[in-house]
């Protein structure tokens, strides 16, 4: 076949006309490309080719990519196309990268940001802040799990208590604010913020392990100015303060160390708060009474809770406590807030560290379904929807070794699941493990992790007030299950067992695929409908970050943060499965895949 321009000579008028059409088409493409930037509108309505926020979208947290070029028919051809090694291996790579218009932004530990060409891995810039090494060495949380992006700025909370905004183009600092006095509080930032709009960035500090006042900040993204602060232990809120014995709220921890999801319709953000401090108390079955003797007697509102905060003021719209007076460290910060619509009902789903999935009316917070995703739980017999109470709670007695399931590291850990609107299934890794917990007596003792008593001067020390050891659930070995459920009813479609616990955030795609990554090294693609493993690749190291998908120039990519590390990861690799993960060492890399 001859090409059209050889078929006949064009007249001048025709030539001008065609050139004009081509120019218009070229302009349209240019405009289209210009629109797909990190403007507030594009972050709120994330274009298909991008990964705009920690959970891809700020307003659903589905971790679902609408791209379908890679599918069950061609998945076996998927190959690695580039790798990135930051050379910073301390505690592995725990991040979920962001991608905007062919550029990847990824954070590494303790608080570094990289901009890479998302098609080639070429380094564009790196932000390596000068940090207070002493503070970074002291904190348990010297890692960066993610970034926020919007209006041409990349936002990160640092381990030393600062929040910075970087110029997307060259990585220069636009503003920097010291929001947590980490030199005194030891706590800082480790999770990503949420870019809500051109006028609001929300980010929470960590802190449940430290005797400090946990906070969530609403910031002006242009300047870093604090617009509002939500105190997770109830400052200025009589309802909350009445649930703390004495002034224990001042040292009550909490915080909020993973990003929330924006419910624009109700002008609120839904997020989880951390556990109260100390993690364990000696008041036993009296702990819910604020007048009992203990470090923090009372319900300890609003710790270990889902909270809905007004975007304009940071005021509380509703809350739901996932472990009253939390005796187990089932803090609610980990676990994504998945927004779902069900025949007109506007819902939010939260997989909790307590091993349950919680479904709420997202306007009122009313719990509609609370069902166990975990099989081996013993801390409660379940949640009664009618009375709105956790029933038959287990109260560990001081000085006695008590079997508690799930273990402190959670039935659901902090790496997220994914919801696929095609299959209408929610996929999540749930861990079947327990612990023997021994709570310290009031006078202290040798059974302890962290400081023996509350230490706030000259700086806060982590304070757990107990000793615990991981153990298997009754009658079976510690293991994990990848469950595929109807997110609202909890009906199980299929499940897959993992003998070694995986610790990666999942990805599902419009190509009908579900991606997971194991601690033995494999990234794998499953058929989202059946759970059948269709493809595997050995990255040569464990996984602790979030798998993403994006497209550049029409080509779909899968990016997988790899590397051993994180506290849960260390427990998996360094303690529980040492025999399988021989000579476990920390590592860090991004591996990116595409079709030939």
Which residues are at the interface with another protein (CB under 8 A)? Answer: 90, 133-134, 136-138, 140, 142, 408, 444, 446-453, 455, 458-459, 461-462, 464, 467-468, 567, 570-571, 574-575, 583
Q: Which is nearer to another protein, 139 or 305 (CB)?
A: 139
**Cα gap 193→155, rounded to integer Å:** 7
Q: Which is nearer to another protein, 65 or 462 (CB)?
A: 462
Least separation, in Å, of the C-beta of 522 and another protein?
A: 23
Q: Which is nearer to another protein, 109 or 539 (CB)?
A: 109
Helix (H, G, I), strand (E, B) or coil at 343: coil
Q: How far is CA 449 from each of CA 48, 279, 330, 402, 442, rounded to the nearest angstrom?
A: 46, 10, 17, 16, 15
Least separation, in Å, of the C-beta of 277 and another protein?
A: 14
Residue 583: Cβ within 10 Å count: 5
Q: Which is nearer to another protein, 239 or 575 (CB)?
A: 575
Q: Which is nearer to another protein, 299 or 405 (CB)?
A: 405
Least separation, in Å, of the C-beta of 449 and another protein?
A: 5
- Give the total residue count for the chain: 596
Q: Which is nearer to another protein, 324 or 565 (CB)?
A: 565
Least separation, in Å, of the C-beta of 279 and another protein?
A: 10
CA angle 572, 574, 579 (to 5 degrees): 90
Least separation, in Å, of the C-beta of 574 and another protein?
A: 5
Q: Which is nearer to another protein, 60 or 109 (CB)?
A: 109
Q: How far is CA 407 from each of CA 159, 164, 379, 432, 499, rounded to the nearest angstrom?
A: 26, 35, 10, 9, 17
Least separation, in Å, of the C-beta of 280 and another protein?
A: 12
Q: Which is nearer to another protein, 69 or 456 (CB)?
A: 456
Q: Which is nearer to another protein, 169 or 585 (CB)?
A: 585
Least separation, in Å, of the C-beta of 575 and another protein?
A: 7
Q: Which is nearer to another protein, 420 or 448 (CB)?
A: 448
- Specify the DSSP class assigned to residue 303: T
Q: How far is CA 66 from each of CA 50, 227, 568, rounded to the nearest angstrom?
A: 10, 34, 31
Least separation, in Å, of the C-beta of 458 and another protein?
A: 6
Q: Which is nearer to another protein, 70 or 136 (CB)?
A: 136
Structure tokens at 105: 């932004």
Least separation, in Å, of the C-beta of 126 and another protein?
A: 19
- CA torsion sign, 168 to 172 to 177 to 183? positive
Least separation, in Å, of the C-beta of 549 and another protein?
A: 32
Q: Are the C-beta atoms of residues 393 and 381 closer than 8 Å to each other?
A: no
Structure tokens at 426: 């929610």
Buried-exposed string 327-338: b where 16+ CB fall within 10 A, e elsewhere: bbbbbbbbbbbb
Q: 3-class secondary structure for 261-319?
A: EEEHHHCEEEEECCCECCCCCCCHHHCCCCCCCCCCCCCCCCCCEEEEEECCCCCEEEE
Least separation, in Å, of the C-beta of 393 and another protein?
A: 23
Using the structure block, give the residue that is written with the tokens 């919801």: 419
Helix (H, G, I), strand (E, B) or coil at 4: helix
Residue 161: Cβ within 10 Å count: 23
Q: Are the C-beta atoms of residues 454 and 278 closer than 8 Å to each other?
A: yes
**Cα gap 169→37, rounded to integer Å:** 12
**Cα gap 448→303, rounded to integer Å:** 22
Going by C-alpha positions, the residue among 37, 74, 15 that lies closest to residue 558 is: 74
Going by C-alpha positions, the residue among 49, 62, 68 that lies closest to residue 119 is: 49
Q: Which is nearer to another protein, 394 or 455 (CB)?
A: 455
Least separation, in Å, of the C-beta of 131 and another protein?
A: 10
**Cα gap 506→414, rounded to integer Å:** 11
Q: Which is nearer to another protein, 138 or 362 (CB)?
A: 138
Least separation, in Å, of the C-beta of 448 and another protein?
A: 6
Largest CA distance in the chain: 97
Q: Is beta strand 261-263 parallel, antiparallel or unpaired with respect to 268-272?
A: antiparallel
Q: Which is nearer to another protein, 91 or 525 (CB)?
A: 91
Q: Are the C-beta atoms of residues 298 and 324 closer than 8 Å to each other?
A: no
Q: Are the C-beta atoms of residues 434 and 249 closer than 8 Å to each other?
A: no
Least separation, in Å, of the C-beta of 467 and another protein?
A: 6
Q: Could you give the strand order of the β-sheet that contains 215-219, starting from the edge strand earlier in sequence?
A: 194-197, 200-204, 215-219, 226-231
């Amino acid at each position: 076949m001859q090409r059209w321009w050889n078929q006949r000579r064009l007249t001048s008028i025709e030539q001008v006309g065609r050139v004009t059409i081509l120019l218009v088409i070229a302009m349209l493409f240019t405009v289209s490309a210009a629109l797909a930037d990190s403007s507030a509108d594009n972050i709120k309505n994330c274009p298909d080719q991008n990964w705009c926020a920690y959970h891809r979208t700020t307003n659903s947290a589905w971790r679902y990519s609408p791209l379908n070029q890679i599918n069950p028919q061609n998945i076996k051809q998927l190959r690695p196309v580039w790798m990135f090694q930051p050379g910073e291996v301390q505690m592995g790579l725990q991040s979920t990268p962001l991608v905007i218009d062919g550029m990847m932004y990824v954070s590494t530990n303790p608080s570094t940001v990289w901009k890479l060409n998302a098609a080639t891995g070429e380094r564009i810039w790196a932000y390596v802040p000068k940090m207070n090494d002493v503070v970074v060495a002291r904190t348990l949380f010297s890692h960066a799990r993610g970034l926020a992006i919007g209006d041409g700025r990349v936002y990160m909370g640092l381990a030393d208590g600062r929040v910075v905004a970087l110029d997307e183009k060259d990585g220069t600092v636009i503003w920097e604010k010291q929001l947590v006095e980490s030199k005194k509080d030891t706590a800082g930032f480790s999770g990503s913020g949420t870019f809500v709009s051109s006028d609001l960035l929300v980010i929470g500090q960590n802190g449940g392990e430290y005797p400090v006042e946990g906070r969530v900040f609403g910031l002006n993204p242009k300047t870093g100015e604090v617009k509002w602060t939500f105190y997770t232990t109830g400052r200025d809120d009589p309802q909350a303060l009445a649930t703390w014995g004495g002034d224990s709220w001042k040292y009550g921890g909490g915080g909020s160390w993973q990003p929330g999801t924006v419910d624009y319709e109700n002008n609120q953000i839904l997020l989880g708060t951390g556990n109260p401090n100390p993690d364990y108390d000696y008041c036993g079955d009296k702990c819910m009474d604020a007048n009992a003797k203990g470090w923090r007697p009372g319900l300890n509102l609003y710790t270990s809770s889902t909270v809905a905060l007004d975007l304009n003021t940071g005021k509380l719209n509703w809350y739901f406590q996932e472990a009253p007076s939390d005796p187990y460290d089932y803090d609610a910060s980990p676990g994504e807030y998945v927004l779902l619509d069900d025949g007109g009902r506007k819902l939010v789903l939260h997989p909790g560290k307590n091993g349950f999935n919680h479904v709420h009316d997202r306007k009122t917070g009313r719990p509609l379904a609370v069902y166990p995703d975990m099989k081996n739980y013993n801390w409660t017999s379940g949640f009664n929807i009618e009375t709105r109470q956790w029933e038959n709670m287990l109260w560990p007695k001081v000085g006695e070794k008590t079997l508690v399931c799930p273990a402190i590291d959670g039935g659901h850990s902090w790496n997220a699941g994914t919801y696929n609107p095609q299959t209408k299934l929610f996929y999540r890794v749930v861990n079947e493990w327990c612990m023997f917990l021994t709570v310290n007596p009031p006078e202290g003792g040798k059974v302890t992790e962290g400081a023996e008593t509350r230490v706030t001067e000259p700086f806060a020390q982590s304070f757990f007030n107990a000793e615990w050891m991981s153990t298997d659930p009754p009658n079976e070995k510690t293991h994990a299950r990848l469950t595929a459920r109807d997110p609202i009813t909890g009906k199980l479609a299929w499940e897959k067992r993992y003998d070694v616990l995986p610790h990666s955030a999942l990805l599902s795609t419009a190509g009908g695929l579900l991606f997971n990554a194991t601690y033995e090294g494999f990234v794998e693609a499953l058929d989202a409908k059946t759970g059948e493993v269709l493809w595997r690749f050995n990255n040569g190291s464990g996984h602790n970050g979030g798998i993403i998908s994006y497209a550049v120039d029409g080509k779909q990519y899968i990016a997988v943060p790899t590397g051993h590390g994180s506290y849960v990861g260390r427990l998996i690799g360094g303690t529980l499965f040492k025999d399988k993960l021989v000579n476990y060492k920390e590592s860090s890399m991004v591996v990116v895949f595409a079709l030939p």
